[in-house]
Every structure is written in structure tokens, then in C-alpha cells.
Amino acid sequence: MKHIPRKRFGQHFLSDPGIIDAIVRAIAPRPGQHMVEIGPGLAALTQPLVERLGRLTVIELDRDLAARLRQHGQLDVIESDVLKVDFTQVAQTLAAPKIRVVGNLPYNISTPILFHLMAHVQIIEDQHFMLQKEVIDRMVAAPATAAYGRLSVMLQWRYAMEDVLFVPPGSFDPPPRVDSAVVRMLPHARPAAVDEALLSELVQVAFSQRRKLLRHTLGRWLEGHGYAGGFDTQRRAEEVPVAHYVALAQELAPA
């Protein structure tokens, strides 16, 4: 029976063989590696992955698709909302020091998924995700560009990222109304030690009015926190490199 894509799950199934092959080549799975796929759907990417790996863990929310996937002898199926999955526990269950994570992420919750995974980054070897092209542009954006923002700062602090493949709407069934792309995310081996919640808060304040100079937003916030350091607030939020935001958060952290 043909599966009808469900809008509430943001389902757009990959169907272009050439794009599927290009994604698999970008991921480069090898036999015996511990990999977790988010949102396998109709297994377009799942099948070539498991053929190369030997075994694959998949996370699927749609119960009909999960039931279909369980019939595959080489798949371990976790039927769950990915935002409720403890990836550290998954790695422990697989007896794997590190896991690789891949998937065609539902565009309506892609950012929450990225931040959820960041909480488990210690056990992640790498991540390859298909996302809305606009989101990936923001993830990899350099300072002083229109796409640079909170998402850029928070993720670049923790990962080295690369836009590896453009995916047009016609590669899906049904086609989404936006362009897509594949991003590679490699956790930094030695990220700067910083209070993540504090960094997130100050970056959110900084970009709350991105057209204004920081003295109007972050400057006032810093005054309220008793900051007397030399951070330059005569800049706009998008002009400040990731390292400067991180250094500021380190300065603000209690001794």
C-alpha cells in the first residue's frame, strides 16, 4: 500500500536516485560503523546506507512507517519523536564510543533537532543532514553577511560545518516549496569551554535588533550584568566573530 505523506510530520520523501547516491557518497558509510538515521521514511536513503554498514538504527515517529521498517532484518527501529530520544543512551545501547548521525530532517523542527543533538555532541562522530537550504546558509554563514545570526554562532562554536550538496525540490515526493541542501557537521575536538546557556542568552540579546548598534541591546544587557570589560558595542551583532562572543561569555562567567 502506498504511503501518503503526512503534513503534520513534514514528510517529503527523497526519490531522486542520483541525489541519493551523491548523499551516500558524501556520508561515506563503512562496514561496522554505528550510525543512526533520523526520519528514514520510505527508506530511500536507509537501504543504500544499511547495505554498506551491515546494520543501522533508525528513528521514526510515523507508526505506519515504523511498522514497515521493522520488517527489515538489518534495522533497529526506535519509534519516537526524535526530540525525546537520548542519543547518549542510544550510543551506550550500541556499545559505541561514538555514533554517526544522518537524516532528512523535518523542516518544521530542524533547528530544535540540531540543538537537541548538541546536548549529546560528546558521543557524536559526525552529522550529515538534509535541511532547507536557507537554514544551512545560516548555519555556515560568515560574520558581516545577512545570513549570519544566532544559529551561526551557536553551532560554529561547537562544530566545523560545510554545505556539501544542493538538492532541488524535484528530488522529493511531494516536492517542497523550498530548495534543500546537505550539511556536514564535525564536532570540534577541543571547543572553547563556555557556559552554553549564558552564550545562548547573550547572543540572543545581541541579535534581537540586528540593525542597531550593540550598545542599544547587548550593551544595556552587559551593564545590567555589571560588565566593565572592553567588549566593543559600537558594532552590529552580525559584525562580531564567533570567537568574540565566546570570549565575552567566558569573561561573564562567575569565577
pLDDT in tens, 54-72: 999 999 999 999 999 999 9
Binding-site residues for S-adenosyl-L-methionine sit at: 12, 14, 39, 60, 81, 104
pTM over 0.75: yes
Residue range(s) in the chain whose domain bears CATH number 3.40.50.150: 7-187
Cβ atoms 156, 245 nearer than 8 A: no
Residue range(s) in the chain whose domain bears CATH number 1.10.8.100: 196-252
Given a cut of 60, is residue 239 above it in pLDDT? yes
The predicted pLDDT at position 176 comes to 87
The predicted pLDDT at position 255 comes to 66
Residue 39: CB atoms within 10 A of its CB come to: 25
The predicted pLDDT at position 1 comes to 44
Can you tell me the distance from the alpha carbon of 204 to that of 192, in angstroms, rounded to the nearest whole number? 19
The predicted pLDDT at position 79 comes to 98
Domain 7-187, classified CATH 3.30.450.40, yes or no: no
Fold of 196-252: Helicase, Ruva Protein; domain 3 (1.10.8)
What are the start-end ranges of the H helices in 10-125?
17-27, 46-53, 63-69, 87-93, 110-118
Closest CA to 30 of 100, 123, 117, 128: 100
Given a cut of 90, is residue 30 above it in pLDDT? yes
Binding-site residues sit at: 12, 14, 39, 60, 81, 104
- Residues 178-217: tens digit of each pLDDT: 999 999 999 999 999 999 999 999 999 999 999 999 999 9
Residue 63: CB atoms within 10 A of its CB come to: 9
